[in-house]
Chain A
Amino acid sequence: MKKILILIAILVFAFIQGAYAQNVNISASFDRNSAAVGEQITMQISVSGDTNDIPEPKLPGIPDFNVYSSGRSQSVSIVNGKMSSSIAYNYVLSPTKPGKFTIGSATLVYKGQTYSTQPVEITVTASPQAAPAQLPAASAQNPSASQAQPAAASRELFVESSVDKKTAYVNEQITLSFKFFHRVSLLSQPQYSPSDTTGFLTEDLPPQKNYYTDINGQRYLITEVKTALFATSKGRYTVGSAQLRCTVNDNGQGGEDIFNQFFGGGKTIVLKSDPITVDVIDLPSQNKPQSFTGAVGKFNISASLDKSQTETNQPITLNVKISGNGSIKTITEPKASFQNFRKYDTITSLNIEKPNYIVSGSKVFKIVLMPLIAGNVTIPPVEFTYFDLAEKNYKTINTPSLSVSVKPGTSAPPPMPALSSGQGTQVLSQDIRYIKTKLSGALSSAPIYKSTFLFALQFIPGIFFLIFWRYNTYRQNLYKNTGLVRFTFAYKSALKKLKKLNLEIAALTPDKVSSRIFDILCSYLADKFNVSACGIISEEVRKKLQEKNVNPDAVAKIVILWEELQFVQYAPAQATQDKVNELLNNTTIVLKELEKEL
């Protein structure tokens, strides 16, 4: 039984795992597998998955190629509320020497799992008119110039940085060109470290250009690398110097000597370009519309719906596409209020192109909307404001308003699992709680804990308990000892009997009364001495009383009473009413006296 349970648990777990595992695929493709030195190969790394937050893949080290990013494109599709997206990253590879090379795997780490592409082999052939091959010939034409003057030797190689404009608006494209002039053969691929461009967003501008130019009668090969810069805020910025580390022949004898080429200790030269200062000015604050969020350039906006008919609670997708020239990456979602709709998360996709070294492209905002009411519902225009560089003013462009016919739907709103990346409850602001609207509780609560009476009351149960308890034990002890009970209650019961006799005295004959009195006296004494009441005699009574140190007078009195009573009993004729009464009184007195003595 336990085993089955464990098995079920494992199965359920595996199923859940399977259901929630994100499918992420990564692949690399090349437009061709062979190229000549100096030619370009386009590498595309595409990442697809059913989530929206896949990180950028990490490129492998490609040492013998120049690598440039040439933009990326993203496409997103939503089917039945399930989203899948694919992003293609484009790179331009330019081989620098012939041979067979293996491009390693590009890797991607997502949620702890590593995905990688297959390595690809590329054959690079030597270009017949390859630039480096021609250079030795060029330098060979003037071997004296490089040999004779070391200063001139430095002119064999030099670098130059330039920008297309020294003053620019925030977010306006500045094109940074780095030119490498050389007229000697290089022993290895130069290592380029780009300028420090803190304060700018950068965008590579491929392809790298190679061309010849003549300076002072010298023919140079120029390699030009361009980068687009977008300033993030106003101020004076310095584009740092770019560095190029290259190795040339030490003796400048060219490529004729094989030993020199291979072993003749190449000289490493580090070339630095001069830093450039750029002034970035703020956009005019005059007439700045509220909806402006920083886009600079020239843009168009268009909108479309994925379907023109839907039902309530059935989502439709509004695609808002902003395209044009400028910093496409930094465009934010245009603001729009969608009444009668519930708005879900927006997915953005980006396409960047760089024709003629100008950054352009498009950004598509896929806004998922759920109509809440039926009928012909209009989606209001979406507004986008940018700063037009050509006209030097702000421009607001709108999408046309679109209408959807919404039929009353039957289905409940579907959950949007992939889209709602909820942030949980957020504290917007803190404040005290609201006042009480109802007067609750007593109007006045007296501090009753202060009352002495209540304090005293706390002890009452205990005291009561103690009293009851003492009394109980006393009584219990009493009943254990019958002698003591007889002794204690002798007088009480005698008095009770005398009282009763007093009431009945009129109805009884004198002799009967006297016999009753005798009985009372007998039982009293028997109780006191704890003996049987019958058979008690006067002599015994006297003895016992004397033992108890009773006053002799009282003893004498009781003996006399005893005998008188006996006498009346045995001679009833002698008994008169008066006599009986006198006896009764005497008995009461004697008993009282005895009780005191005993």
Chain B
Amino acid sequence: MIKKLIFVISVLLLSYLTAFSAEDISKAVNDLFVQANKAYEQNNYDQAIALYENALGRYKINNDSIYYNLGNCYYRTNKIGKAVLNYELALKINPRDEDARYNLNYIRTLIKDIQDTNFIDKLYLLLTANELVLITLFVNICFFIFLWLFVHKKNPALKPYCLYIGIALLVLGFWAYNRVKDEKRVFAVVITTPCEVRSGPGKEYTAGLSVQEGKKVEILSRQEDWFAAGLHTEKYKGWLEKEKVELILSSPLKR
């Protein structure tokens, strides 16, 4: 009996403690965020960058607003590659962020790297992999409950529901599968120019393309200090130096 009581109390205490510390972090991050925004307003972009990066790094967080603001700072300090990288990160967390999408497209028009996105692409990016997985699970449960009710109660009125939910489940499942598969692909942004895409992993290979800062490439494999990269719009595959690009990975994963 006493053992049980101690266990319950300790569990309660632990949960309270963790909650407290989470609140603490959120307050600290928010303070840094406000401070950085102030620096941005005073056109002190370098300080703003330091503050935002500090918030991300110290508390190992992964927030789209911070990435977005960082993108703005880097754009203002003329670091196009870093700006694109941070907008990409913001969009990875929240693909429905209109502002980030606008700024990214704006920069892409500046560097003449226009990627035409059609309606299907926009729809595909509407939900994140996380959301899709959860929605699929929910629809999955709904579908089998309805199917069970239909089979068990033999109520023909339930048949169309089963059909529609079943179709929705198939579409969602396909969508979620592809999104999750896409999440496993690694992309990178060119942050240093000039950056040449060579035919092999080494400076002795001929350069086939010269890409500018801010270009998004897919990383296919790695060999020592070289990445094999795929450029989708140019339909080109080649090798580029590792330090000329930065991977689009959220900050907790980097460290």
A in complex with B: yes
Which A residues lie at the B interface, using CB under 8 A?
430-445, 447-449, 454, 457-458, 461-462, 464-465, 468-469, 472
* Bound complex: CA A472 to CA B102 (Å): 56
| Complex contact B72–A449 (CB within 8 A) | no
| Complex contact B37–A465 (CB within 8 A) | no
| Complex contact A435–B72 (CB within 8 A) | yes
Cβ of B107 < 8 Å from any Cβ of A?
yes
| Complex contact A458–B65 (CB within 8 A) | no
Mostly helix, strand, loop or mixed at chain A's interface? loop
Q: How many residues of chain B have a CB within 8 Å of chain A?
A: 48
| Complex contact A443–B129 (CB within 8 A) | no
* Bound complex: CA A430 to CA B234 (Å): 27
| Complex contact A457–B40 (CB within 8 A) | no
Cβ of B223 < 8 Å from any Cβ of A?
no
| Complex contact A472–B30 (CB within 8 A) | no
Mostly helix, strand, loop or mixed at chain B's interface? helix
* Min distance, Cβ A178 to any Cβ of chain B, angstroms: 55
Q: Quick one: given A436-B68, A436-B99, A472-B152, are A443 and B25 in contact (CB under 8 Å)?
A: yes
Residues of B within 8 A of A448 (CB): 130, 133-134
Residues of A within 8 A of B180 (CB): 449
The chain B residue with its CB closest to the CB of A457 is B137
Other-chain contact of A443, B61, B72, B73 (Cβ < 8 Å) = B61
* Min distance, Cβ A473 to any Cβ of chain B, angstroms: 10
Other-chain contact of B66, A433, A439, A458 (Cβ < 8 Å) = A439
| Complex contact B129–A449 (CB within 8 A) | yes
* Bound complex: CA A449 to CA B176 (Å): 9
In addition to A436-B68, A449-B133, A465-B147, 18 A-B residue pairs with Cβ atoms within 8 Å of each other are A431-B106, A432-B72, A433-B99, A433-B102, A433-B103, A435-B68, A440-B64, A440-B65, A441-B65, A441-B93, A443-B29, A443-B61, A444-B60, A444-B61, A454-B133, A461-B141, A461-B144, A465-B144
* Bound complex: CA A433 to CA B103 (Å): 6
* Bound complex: CA A438 to CA B66 (Å): 10
| Complex contact B64–A432 (CB within 8 A) | no
| Complex contact A458–B62 (CB within 8 A) | no
Closest 10 CB pairs of A and B: A461-B144, A449-B129, A435-B69, A432-B103, A436-B65, A443-B61, A449-B133, A465-B144, A433-B99, A444-B61
* Min distance, Cβ B162 to any Cβ of chain A, angstroms: 12
Residues of B within 8 A of A444 (CB): 60-63, 252
Number of A-B contacts (CB under 8 A): 91
Cβ of B75 < 8 Å from any Cβ of A?
yes
Other-chain contact of B69, A436, A445, A465, A472 (Cβ < 8 Å) = A436
* Bound complex: CA A578 to CA B23 (Å): 78
Other-chain contact of A445, B29, B93, B107 (Cβ < 8 Å) = B93
The chain A residue with its CB closest to the CB of B30 is A439
* Bound complex: CA A454 to CA B129 (Å): 12
* Bound complex: CA A464 to CA B141 (Å): 10
Write the B50-73 contact mask toward A (1 if CB under 8 angstroms, else 0).
000000000111111110110011
* 23 pairs from A and B in contact (CB 8 Å cutoff): A430-B106, A431-B106, A432-B75, A432-B106, A433-B99, A433-B102, A434-B72, A435-B72, A436-B65, A439-B29, A439-B30, A444-B62, A445-B62, A445-B93, A447-B130, A449-B179, A457-B137, A458-B140, A461-B144, A462-B144, A468-B148, A469-B148, A472-B152
Write the B21-63 contact mask toward A (1 if CB under 8 angstroms, else 0).
0000110011001000100100000000000000000011111
| Complex contact A464–B144 (CB within 8 A) | yes
The chain B residue with its CB closest to the CB of A461 is B144
Cβ of B132 < 8 Å from any Cβ of A?
yes
Cβ of B243 < 8 Å from any Cβ of A?
no
Residues of A within 8 A of B68 (CB): 435-436
Interface centre among A443, A462, A472 (most CB of B within 10 A): A443
* Min distance, Cβ A318 to any Cβ of chain B, angstroms: 42
Cβ of B136 < 8 Å from any Cβ of A?
yes
* Bound complex: CA A469 to CA B130 (Å): 31
Interface centre among A430, A441, A449 (most CB of B within 10 A): A449
Cβ of B187 < 8 Å from any Cβ of A?
no
* Bound complex: CA A434 to CA B99 (Å): 8
Cβ of B77 < 8 Å from any Cβ of A?
no
Residues of A within 8 A of B65 (CB): 436, 438-441
* Bound complex: CA A436 to CA B33 (Å): 10
